[in-house]
Amino acid sequence: MTKRRKIEDFKMLNEKELDLTLWPKVLTDNFDTQKKELYFRRKKAIEMYLSGKYLIKEIYNKTQINDLQIRHFLKRCLSHDKYGDLYGYRALIPYKRIKQNSPQPNKQRKGFANSFTLLLEQKPTLKELIHKWYIKPDRLDEIKISKRELHRKFIRACRDLGIALDQYPFNTTDVGYRTLARYLTKLESDYSNEAIKRYGKGHESTFLDTGGVSEKRMIIRPFERVQLDGHKIDLIMVIKFKTPEGDEFTETIHRLFLITIIDVATRVVLGYQLSLGREYNQFDVLKCVKNALEPKKKINLTIPELNYPDNGGYHSLAIPETEWAVWDEILFDNAKANLAKMVRLKLNETLGCDVNYGPVAKPTRRPIIERFFHTLEQNGYHRLINTTGSNTSDPRRGRPVQEAIKYEITVDKIQELTEIMIAKYNNDSHEGVNGFTPLEVMEQRIKKGTPVRKVSEEKREELNLFTIKAVRTIKGGVKEGRKPYVTVENVSYTSDVLSRSPGLAGEKLELIINTEDLRVIRAFLEDGSEFGMLTAHGKWGIVQHSMEERKAINKLIRERKITISDSRDPVEALKNYLSTKSITDKKSRNQLQKVTSVKRANKHDEIEIVEVLSEDELHSNVSNAKTIRKYEEDHIFQKSLPKLPNSIIF
């Protein structure tokens, strides 16, 4: 069936409404397995149908959805909500009502088919309790709880949740015991690694050590396993800054951390990140991961006689086949930043890689990356005049503070040096790979057809490593005399749609927040429907800033050290405060270096660049026209998330 026939069938005059890329999306993270599987079958059926490439029989064989159901779902998708927006994929959400139907008389249902599943859907707290009791108990005496005892706890929980005696499970002969027992058996199969603890330490050890990937086997495939760690550089560095009064200072800062990811099979350093904090945090770890994933871009070198090797020195430059390559397993130490929930979730869900912290009560051994840090110190950092040496009695330690100030050895210079040292390390022969260079080994194995897993193309545009989820209640409304809004980190957010929806006051929105750019956030309704983009109030919605910077500014506001008005740039206020504080405080110098190193996009600046072009110039100059189109694509905040800012280390 042609697209024209479909348009005629559904009386559509605007073919753009059949463009699936413009349909509102659905957030399925909170769907249970059954609901998610049903949604994706419906979605696949609609997409196959609208492509015009498949017969109805082929669609049914793949999705188990027939012609009548497809047309029913398509009509729902092509209908509009009360704001005039297309429902799109939102109409495929199971059990979602897209219009008010007239009440129907209650129909007597026979039997109790799927009653247990329906109960868990209606009472998600009950499902969480069952999983907790059977799979992840808090107390040692509950590790091997019997099914009978768990059933008694299940019944007590049902009473506590207010389930009436004439409702399931109380209206069955066995009070739902057999159905619960079958569900527990399935849980044990689905969560075998956790459920094995019920059978004792001996069974657990044997089960986890047999089958799967052996810890002792040799790793030879590139990107099969990587190691990540941080190391404090033995160097003193300085920062040059001006106070708000215009006075110039050159002062020392705290030593930096170098965070690195190295491939176990080939010893290639995939990426790194310099952390300006006293300790590196979860955002530094994720930036290091991002730098290792994205294709390498060379930085501008200002130090004389400092050059990249001929092949670029990094895997994505020397071996194009490894662009966007992602590893299967990553080994961490037990540092707080690495254990952060955000890091684990992003690595598991976004990249699909396993996270290995090592066995309980045993230190995780990462000899490869520890050896790399030793090599970098011995052959690089310890040879500089501003080195602190490996300890206070190291003969290489001279007058690092005085030398750093005298020669103005800044973070930017150490960044350039680190960039080239790692590039040369990847091109130096290594005894761990039989005397070959790390890049030579990786290239040989890739050319032989070794499979490499890559980040999918749809995720490359905006790799959401820095997004977090939050739930906020919509405030405002007619009673409060204020248009609806939500608050994130003491800043209000709203949009045209939200501001004209006072009836939503008191409802909840699930927010997807880009912690690297808080100017706008993406919002979803509780059922998963996309609500749109919300923009921050005042200058907060114009000047790009991160979650760390927002929290730092809010702390200063609470302590009454700075004040922020609607017309004042909050980031500039932070810089001015840190510049004044940096005269005597070393910690403030590190913060100032971090704030000033970020490349920011300013919405007003870009608007001014576009507006100065005359109408004649726009018609005569093709490049100017492209500039306008690029602005419209990148800066309509209600359509797409802002791109992540570049890290200080590329």
Of 592, 595, 467, 465, whose CA–CA distance to 543 is shortest? 595
98 or 10: which carries more pLDDT confidence?
Answer: 98
- The answer to whether 513 touches 467, Cβ cutoff 8 Å, is yes
d(CA 143, CA 536): 48
490-518 pLDDT, tens digit per residue, is: 999 999 999 988 888 999 999 999 888 89
Question: Coil, strand, or helix at residue 194?
Answer: helix
Q: What is the pLDDT of residue 595?
A: 85
270-304 pLDDT, tens digit per residue, is: 999 999 888 888 889 999 999 999 999 999 999 98
Give the position of tokens 């949009």: 495
Q: What is the pLDDT of residue 361?
A: 41
- Tokens linked to 453: 């897993």
**Which positions ≥6 away from 403 have C-beta within 8 Å?**
236, 385, 386, 409
**Which positions ≥6 away from 38 have C-beta within 8 Å?**
94
Helices (H) and strands (E) in the chain, counts: 26, 14
Of 420, 447, 419, 415, whose CA–CA distance to 266 is shortest? 447
Beta strands in 243-387 (DSSP E): 248-253, 257-263, 269-275, 329-331, 354-356
d(CA 126, CA 163): 11
Residue 213 — φ and ψ, nearest 5°? -90, 120
The pTM of this model reads 0.61
104 or 34: which carries more pLDDT confidence?
Answer: 34
pLDDT at position 213 over 50? no
**Which positions ≥6 away from 453 have C-beta within 8 Å?**
223, 325, 326, 327, 328, 352
CATH superfamily of 225-460: Ribonuclease H-like superfamily/Ribonuclease H (3.30.420.10)
Residue 211, Ramachandran bin (φ over 0: left; ψ between -120 and 50: alpha; else beta) = left
d(CA 112, CA 106): 16
**Cα-trace Rg, the chain:** 29
Based on the number of CB atoms within 10 Å of its own CB, is 392 exposed (0-12), middle (13-18) or buried (19 or more)?
Answer: exposed
